[in-house]
Amino acid sequence: MNFSDCVEGHLTGISVDEESKGVDFSIRLQAGRSVVLSARGVTQLAVSEFREKNIIDRVNAWGHESKVSDFQHLLVELLTGQTDVAVDGAFSSLIERQLKAINAGETVLIEIEPVYGARVLMLAKSIALQ
């Protein structure tokens, strides 16, 4: 999936449907058009620093074709809430289970990386740009 149109776009809103485990991110692109990044089957979500103007640097998605070394530190951060943590027994089984789900194509790890404002990390069953 190509997210290059989202570069320099603005994250303008987040809508969470707790019942269906869906999250919609409203994005205003540089060209002025608005799109929605829809995530379904969300099991983990962390959003930090949401501001009035949330400028997107890039949207990254890691799935079954990705190298674990490219995203493992982000998965650990999402699951533990810490960036520099030695994985102990309490988290190791959870991290291994999620790595297996990503490698099997059952789950996708998504990051919305900011220039300014909101940073998003999440695990979802699927994502689509509409």
- Confidence at residue 31, expressed as pLDDT on a 0 to 100 scale: 83
63 touches 8 (CB < 8 A): no
Beta-bridge partners for 28? 10, 34
Mean pLDDT on 97-125: 94
Rounded to the nearest 5°, which phi and psi values hold at 22?
A: -110, 145
With a threshold of 0.85, does the pTM exceed it? yes
Cα–Cα distance measured from residue 124 to residue 109, given in angstroms and rounded to the nearest whole number: 7
Mean pLDDT of the chain: 89
Domain extent listing, the chain: 4-129
> What pLDDT shows up at residue 85?
59
Q: How large is the average pLDDT for residues 72-95?
A: 77
DSSP the chain: ---GGGTT-EEEEEEEETTTTEEEEEEE-TTS-EEEEEEES--EEEEE---SS-EEEEEEEE-TTS-HHHHHHHHHHHHHS-SS----HHHHHHHHHHHHHHHTTS-EEEEEEEEES-EEEEEESEEEE-
